[in-house]
Amino acid sequence: MDISTILGITFGFGLVISAMSMGGGLAWFINAPSAMIVMGGTFGAVLINYPLSDVLGVVGVARKVVFQKEQKVEKVIGQLVDISKLSRREGILSLEKEMKHIHDPFLAKGIMMVIDGIDPATLSKILYTELEYIEERHKLGAEIFTTMGNFAPAMGMVGTLIGLVKMLMMMEDPSAIGPAMAVALITTFYGVILANLIFLPVAGKLKTRSGRELMVKELAINGIMSIQSGDNPRVLEQKLHSFISPGERKSIF
Amino acid sequence: MDISTILGITFGFGLVISAMSMGGGLAWFINAPSAMIVMGGTFGAVLINYPLSDVLGVVGVARKVVFQKEQKVEKVIGQLVDISKLSRREGILSLEKEMKHIHDPFLAKGIMMVIDGIDPATLSKILYTELEYIEERHKLGAEIFTTMGNFAPAMGMVGTLIGLVKMLMMMEDPSAIGPAMAVALITTFYGVILANLIFLPVAGKLKTRSGRELMVKELAINGIMSIQSGDNPRVLEQKLHSFISPGERKSIF
Amino acid sequence: MDISTILGITFGFGLVISAMSMGGGLAWFINAPSAMIVMGGTFGAVLINYPLSDVLGVVGVARKVVFQKEQKVEKVIGQLVDISKLSRREGILSLEKEMKHIHDPFLAKGIMMVIDGIDPATLSKILYTELEYIEERHKLGAEIFTTMGNFAPAMGMVGTLIGLVKMLMMMEDPSAIGPAMAVALITTFYGVILANLIFLPVAGKLKTRSGRELMVKELAINGIMSIQSGDNPRVLEQKLHSFISPGERKSIF
Amino acid sequence: MDISTILGITFGFGLVISAMSMGGGLAWFINAPSAMIVMGGTFGAVLINYPLSDVLGVVGVARKVVFQKEQKVEKVIGQLVDISKLSRREGILSLEKEMKHIHDPFLAKGIMMVIDGIDPATLSKILYTELEYIEERHKLGAEIFTTMGNFAPAMGMVGTLIGLVKMLMMMEDPSAIGPAMAVALITTFYGVILANLIFLPVAGKLKTRSGRELMVKELAINGIMSIQSGDNPRVLEQKLHSFISPGERKSIF
Amino acid sequence: MDISTILGITFGFGLVISAMSMGGGLAWFINAPSAMIVMGGTFGAVLINYPLSDVLGVVGVARKVVFQKEQKVEKVIGQLVDISKLSRREGILSLEKEMKHIHDPFLAKGIMMVIDGIDPATLSKILYTELEYIEERHKLGAEIFTTMGNFAPAMGMVGTLIGLVKMLMMMEDPSAIGPAMAVALITTFYGVILANLIFLPVAGKLKTRSGRELMVKELAINGIMSIQSGDNPRVLEQKLHSFISPGERKSIF
């Protein structure tokens, strides 16, 4: 599980909740109609905004944020250098027996096409198209969370307006105004906190993750093209190292 | 009818309205002048903003959101692979008799031009120009709804300011202040809810739909160009599969 | 005169003003210092922001929004097809006698250069540069209105702050607070309504119009280049039809 | 001195200040701590945001807005046409004696390189790189003013919050609340007015000016390249005229 | 240490704090739960938003803002001109002995590849890829600070809502309302001041610095490519001078 997500949730909610419970019960902050408006309104708006399949896919996406491990870039570079050496020593067709050690399906597809003898322009076109549409699908996940992060505070405002209108309509009892207004504000509170501690940060992490994954994939395309054109493994390594920071580079030569 | 739009409307409005009716009549939230200002102001601003024909076109566009079915990508890929096979087996002119099975006018136009022997550069130019201007027209629809989503809350604010000015001008009777202010706030409420439960989500769905449709069209262009250049149907399928996620890919080889 | 602009103004202002006059005099909403601050501040800011010649040009631009008729796309396509036919039948030099029927100066300039025998690369460069700078000049008009739409509510806020400070400074008489605060709010009201019913919608219409005009010009460039390279009139028509929606296409073949 | 800047300042501040002085002393709006917070905070934030040399350079930049005259485009075109004629009549080396009449250092550098016989690709690369980095430096000036325009209202809010906290902390005397709150609002007033009547409009004018200057420079590059390749002066004029509106074009042929 | 950062902090915080302490104790502005909510919430949200390694890297990034010295552009140009001269006089391999004087690792890598005889296209590809990913990593630093600058005021609002709800829930004692509301506002105050005097300006400085560094690196790539292709050192100098303003140019010829 992703350690920074756990830390962030613990830290963020921990401090906010402990501040809420100081000098007053947490129960003051629980209000069913407020939750109904913010949740119902936000999910309603998102359902109108996106096809059902995309919205349901978000559950899987959110799980990915918390549980999926990242590919190690150095490992991918190492593997590509090894493949490159093998290919220069024993010919491109010898890569066939290496295929079972390649677990990343994107890389495997690319190497398979090299073995199949597909010409470089077509190969590059296919892999870059694939990259582009992976990016599109990643973007959609982050975008849905960003959309939720935009609708939640607006729905909070809707709820607060509903509460204020009700309060103002029956203002005979001045002593009831305080608590009524408090309840009205709770909807805004829900909207702001959901947006800023859940929806927007998750959207942010999806973007960061996607950026990292796409970089590894672009690096892989560069490696595959280099292997196909029979580059020297040293040059290949140098090419791929330019994708990562000097501190991460570990040459095997 | 698009299931997620129905669900979204039911869910969103259902919960908001039930929260509104708790502990008070829904009638409190009905106010004709508020509706006049928000609706009148928003449509007025949109009419100044866009030519009349574009605004009227929005009705059709909104209907499309709710009723139109999406093209299945796999079906389009399958059809292109079939055409490719036929073309390689019996020559490009044999596609003429296949034309009656192609129902998508964009695809039909492309294949027709291949049969007519138009050169690849011109063909690609024509189809991409068409794609670009389809995108422009789609964008316009989404943009009009976004514009409405931006003007509605501003008009809500205009209405609230009008209400507040009136209230403050005749503040002799303190007991009337509460209800008067409630009425003032209702205009903002209308503006915010129209924007966030109707205009902006519909704009969002139009964008998502358009993105999907354009992707299918770009895939079709790739397929048509491949058929013209006489690619192997397997390579063609691989090219087109790079547009969709691995889970959706169903090879017919 | 542009019908949707008239409708929009009638509709928008009509409903807002009738809502204002319900249950109170319209006179409550008239306040000279508020108008001075919003108008003076907005025009002052715009004058600092843009050269004088550009600001004065805005008057002409605004008139264009209301009065100018749009070029019909089909007519332009038809004309280009006719020129193309003539050019293939009687040679490019025969276009000279056609020049007097071409009223659009942009199209005329392009055809003139074809007759003058300027090479395609230079021709395309000149026409696209012209297109780019027409776009720049159009953008400036829309941008000035957008700038006014951004400054007006800010100036409204400035006026409200001035009004509030004055009111709070002389708060001895509680009965005067209401009307004083009402006056303070009127400045914000002016700013919001000017921005949302005039400046921003006009900026929007200028953008839409400009987009349409540029599309027609780009179509014209494509046609001119096609005529120069001696394309078949049918292919030329097909090329130009890709700019417009299938419903608008009327083939003359 | 730039007439529209003077007009804008007179107009904007004149009307705002006269509205402030109506029915109350202007002295109400003078408050030293408010000025300290807005000025100090804004300049502090800008100093953290940019290197010292850039911030100091802003003074010169602001002066440029008010005093610098614009290059006349027609004059530049005329000069380029003259150089072009001379170059075709007497050869490129004859331009050497023309150098003393070229006062614009950018144009002079370009012509000098033509005389030095630098190849077109290198020449174009050097001039476009120079253009790009001139643009970068211009952008920085406008950006600093925009940054100030963003920080000033935020600092105004900081000051208002400080004032409100102080007021609420010592609320024993109800009669002091009004003036105390007025003082609190003055900081927001300062922030909003500085941003909207000074910082943002100046940023806007820098952008407009820069756009105009860069256009003239790009036109100059086109002219220089044309002279080097020995274009006909008429074609050169036509090329350069495409940068400006038809109304500004004065052919010398 | 970066003088403008020190000045900015002194200036900004100095004036704000002295304004805070006028007519009231600074102690009024110290509130532990407010600090907990703003700090905890902001760091929590950032931890959910970014991988832990990136967040920890921010500490180093922030230090860099204050302590790192900038590369002098003229020195880099001078060094490249010297290398160019040496290379033309004694051949490319003679650069080997110059390597120990090149301290910038990016430049050193480039020159090393020139000595190794890597072909220009590959060399350019490798260096530009490296540049692109350096830019990505720089952007990440600035982006994290911008994200903190966006979350801090939102968390301030969360805290203020919590405070208001509590206050309204126990409104029996009117004399306690003032101070309770003051405390509620302090959280917003913290959020706004952290965002506008720390997070956003630091993000801004990281961007400015990064831009400068990338410009020097791009200039270096141009120099390296020029050396490889054996350009005249004068032309090389002219090429590199186009990156900087005329005032900074010091020719050594």
Closest CA to E23 of D145, A57, D166: D166
Position B165 pLDDT exceeds 80:
yes
- C49-85 in b/e form (b: 16+ CB < 10 A) is bbbeebbebbeebbeebeeeeebebeebbebbbebbe
* pLDDT at position C33: 85
Residue with tokens 């004709």: B32
% of chain E exceeding 90 in pLDDT: 34
Side-chain-facing half-sphere of E121: CA atoms under 13 Å:
0
Which residues from chain C sit within 8 angstroms of residue D185, using beta carbons?
A: 161, 164-165, 168
Q: How confident is the model at residue E66 (pLDDT cuts 50, 70, 90)?
A: low
Tell me the average pLDDT of chain B: 87
Position A62 pLDDT exceeds 80:
no
Cβ of B166 and C28 within 8 Å? Answer: yes
Cβ of B47 and C246 within 8 Å? Answer: no
- Higher per-residue confidence, A237 vs E59: A237
Mean pLDDT value of segment E125-130: 91
Express each pLDDT in B72-93 by its tens digit. Answer: 888 899 999 999 999 999 988 8
Tell me which of B126-140, B210-224, C150-164, E67-81 is least confident: E67-81
Question: Using CB atoms and an 8 Å cut-off, which of residues 76-105 of chain C contact chain B?
Answer: none
Express each pLDDT in C73-108 by its tens digit. Answer: 888 999 999 999 999 999 888 888 888 888 888 999
* pLDDT at position D1: 53
Express each pLDDT in C202-242 by its tens digit. Answer: 899 888 888 888 999 999 999 999 999 988 999 899 889 98
CA distance B8 to B4: 6
Query: What is the distance in angstroms between the CA of the first residue and the CA of the last residue of chain D?
Result: 35
* pLDDT at position B66: 65
* pLDDT at position B225: 94
Tokens encoding D179: 């003036």
Position E136 pLDDT exceeds 90:
no
Mean pLDDT value of segment C18-43: 84
**Virtual CA dihedral for B12, B18, B20, B23, nearest 10 degrees?**
-160
Position E70 pLDDT exceeds 80:
no
DSSP annotation string for B25-65: -GGGG--HHHHHHHHHHHHHHHHHHS-HHHHHHHHHHHHHH
The number of residues in chain D equals 253
Residue in chain A closest to B191 (alpha carbons) equals A158
Question: Using CB atoms and an 8 Å cut-off, which of residues 31-60 of chain B contact chain A?
Answer: none
The number of residues in chain E equals 253
* pLDDT at position D188: 93
Which residues from chain C sit within 8 angstroms of residue D222, using beta carbons?
A: 129
Q: How confident is the model at residue E134 (pLDDT cuts 50, 70, 90)?
A: confident
Mean pLDDT value of segment A36-42: 90
D25's CB contacts (< 8 A; 6+ apart) are none
Mind telling me how many Å the CA of D181 is from chain C's nearest CA?
A: 7
Q: Does residue E125 sit at the A interface (CB-CB below 8 Å)? A: yes
Position E128 pLDDT exceeds 90:
yes
Which residues from chain B sit within 8 angstroms of residue A105, using beta carbons?
A: 246
* pLDDT at position A65: 65
Which residues from chain C sit within 8 angstroms of residue D246, using beta carbons?
A: 105
Tokens encoding C85: 């036919």
Pair D236, D220: CB distance under 8 Å: no
Tell me the average pLDDT of chain C: 86
* pLDDT at position A66: 66
The number of residues in chain B equals 253
CA distance C38 to D15: 9
Cβ of A197 and E44 within 8 Å? Answer: yes
ipTM score for this prediction: 0.84
Position C159 pLDDT exceeds 60:
yes
D and C touch with 3+ CB pairs <8 Å, answer yes
* pLDDT at position C29: 85
Which residues from chain E sit within 8 angstroms of residue D147, using beta carbons?
A: 204
Express each pLDDT in C127-153 by its tens digit. Answer: 999 998 888 888 888 899 999 999 999
Tokens encoding A130: 């694939």
Tell me which of A223-232, A237-246, C193-202 is least confident: A237-246
Q: How confident is the model at residue A2 (pLDDT cuts 50, 70, 90)?
A: confident
Position A1 pLDDT exceeds 60:
no
Distances (CA, A) of B109 to B236, D116, D235: 19, 55, 40
Maximum distance among all Cα pairs of chain E, rounded to whole angstroms: 91
Closest CA to E220 of E136, E137, E92, E113: E113
CA distance D28 to D11: 22
Position A116 pLDDT exceeds 60:
yes
Position E164 pLDDT exceeds 70:
yes
Query: What is the distance in angstroms between the CA of the first residue and the CA of the last residue of chain A?
Result: 35
Closest CA to C181 of C34, C69, C73: C34
Cβ of D208 and C162 within 8 Å? Answer: no
* pLDDT at position E195: 94
User: Three-class SS of residue E7?
Assistant: helix
Pair A149, A45: CB distance under 8 Å: no
Mind telling me how many Å the CA of D10 is from chain E's nearest CA?
A: 30
* pLDDT at position B65: 64
Pair C46, C55: CB distance under 8 Å: yes
Mind telling me how many Å the CA of B100 is from chain A's nearest CA?
A: 30
Q: How confident is the model at residue E9 (pLDDT cuts 50, 70, 90)?
A: confident
- A101-114 in b/e form (b: 16+ CB < 10 A) is ebebebbebbbebb
DSSP annotation string for chain C: --HHHHHHHHHHHHHHHHHHHTTS-GGGG--HHHHHHHHHHHHHHHHHHS-HHHHHHHHHHHHHHHHPPPPPHHHHHHHHHHHHHHHHHH-GGGGGGGGGG---HHHHHHHHHHHTT--HHHHHHHHHHHHHHHHHHHHHHHHHHHHHHHHHHHHHHHHHHHHHHHHHHT-S-HHHHHHHHHHHHHHHHHHHHHIIIIIHHHHHHHHHHHHHHHHHHHHHHHHHHHHHTT--HHHHHHHHHTTS-GGG-----
Question: Looking at this protein, which amino acid is placed at residue B31?
Answer: N
Express each pLDDT in A197-222 by its tens digit. Answer: 989 998 998 888 888 889 999 999 99
Residue with tokens 């080097």: D228
Q: Does residue E151 sit at the A interface (CB-CB below 8 Å)? A: yes
Cβ of D168 and E189 within 8 Å? Answer: no
* pLDDT at position D36: 87
Nearest by CB to D49, from E15, E181, E205: name it.
Answer: E205
Mean pLDDT per block of 10 residues along chain D (253 residues) reads 80 85 78 88 90 81 70 88 92 88 89 91 91 86 92 93 85 73 89 92 88 90 93 90 84 78
Tokens encoding C195: 């921005």
Helix (H) or strand (E) run with residue E194 in it: helix E177-194
Express each pLDDT in D146-184 by its tens digit. Answer: 999 999 999 999 999 988 888 888 767 767 777 788 888
Cβ count within 10 A of residue A56: 11
Cβ of B168 and C181 within 8 Å? Answer: yes
Cβ of B50 and C188 within 8 Å? Answer: no
Mean pLDDT value of segment A8-21: 85
